[in-house]
Amino acid sequence: MATVQKTTMKRFNGTDWDPIHLATSGDITQAGESWQIMGQPIGAYAVGDTINATDSVTEILKKMTQTRIPATYTAPTLAFDVPTGNKGGNYEAGTSLSSTLRATFTKNDAGNLTNLKINNGTDDVVTGATTPQSYEYTGVLGDSPLTFTATAAYEAGEIKNDNLGDPSPNGQIKAGSISKTITFTPFRKYFYGADSTGSAAIADSAGIRALSGSSGKATKGTKFSISVPAGSTRCTIAYDKTVGTLAQVLYRESGNANITGQFTLSEVNVEGVGAYSAKAYNVYTILWAQPTAGAMTFDVTI
């Protein structure tokens, strides 16, 4: 149906012409009077809501026949990864690291990105208002964790409308920031093993590092097993001195006899990987005057 426009007609009253104003589409489709919802809710109308005289009849019917569904908002996200090079995680002290760190911001229903930075624990090494941001790191991991933090700051997002076209502010993404971290955590390996050539305790870093090495640090209560081949003359256990004294060594093939007392303690300064700064290690050694007749298994608890 065509829209009715405002127009004027005239009627002769016997003496003159009187104007007659016709209604527009708006006049025809408006409620015409105001009233308040009472008793119980109706559709999207709550008790106490007012229907105004100028409200569209179509909109009134829509609200009476639909339930209001609030708008949903999706929070912004920040991805912080290492696309190339050493990933975050545990590394032996002295490890040479080479990594590309990349921070990527996705706004979703937040406002615009205002700053995306990467911090190395002391300084902001990268900063900008675009995404992604990348940083190339190379260096040697010491005895302290190395942590990089990416932080994205953003403006408030827009208020969305609900299913009935009205503003739905609950859940609007306010201005704020989000952060993610990548950490490289150092550890000192512990070492162990048996050999058939030793006649004295190992007294140097290179000799200790030539033994089997762990994939993580020693802690109080760490457990592992040592396979001692037949013909061995020496068995060695070495770990960071700060962990404390050796708890026990059980000889599995001898009914789990406790042989801890057969090991003698010495101290050796042991380097990290790549000749990194040495630390004092407890070195426990058992020596046999004659090569062992058969294979043995030692279950160790630090």
> 154-185 pLDDT, tens per residue?
999 999 999 988 999 999 999 999 999 999 99
pLDDT attached to residue 198: 96
CA angle 10, 11, 17 (to 5 degrees): 75
pLDDT of residue 261 exceeding 90, the answer is: yes
pLDDT of residue 279 exceeding 70, the answer is: yes
CA dist 298 and 128 (Å) reads: 57
> 4-30 pLDDT, tens per residue?
555 566 666 777 776 765 556 555 688
> 68-120 pLDDT, tens per residue?
899 999 999 999 999 999 999 999 999 999 999 999 999 999 999 999 999 99
> For the purposes of burial, counting CB atoms within 10 Å of the CB of 228, is it exposed (0-12), middle (13-18) or buried (19 or more)?
buried
Size (the chain), residues: 302
**E strand or H helix at 186:** strand 176-187
SS3 of residue 254 by DSSP: helix
pLDDT attached to residue 155: 98
> 213-234 pLDDT, tens per residue?
999 999 999 999 999 999 999 9
CATH number 3.40.50.1820 given to 77-187: no
Q: Give me the residue spans of the domains in the chain.
A: 39-68, 77-187, 189-301
> 121-149 pLDDT, tens per residue?
999 999 999 999 999 999 999 999 999 99
pLDDT attached to residue 1: 40
> For the purposes of burial, counting CB atoms within 10 Å of the CB of 35, is it exposed (0-12), middle (13-18) or buried (19 or more)?
exposed
What mean pLDDT is reported for the chain? 92
pLDDT of residue 280 exceeding 60, the answer is: yes
pLDDT attached to residue 227: 98
Is pLDDT larger for residue 210 or for residue 45?
A: 210
> 35-74 pLDDT, tens per residue?
787 878 877 778 888 888 887 887 877 777 778 899 999 9
Is pLDDT larger for residue 42 or for residue 208?
A: 208
At 231, list the tokens: 């013909």
Question: If we measure between CA atoms, which residue out of 298, 301, 302 comes closest to residue 225?
Answer: 298
pLDDT attached to residue 256: 98
CA dist 194 and 232 (Å) reads: 6
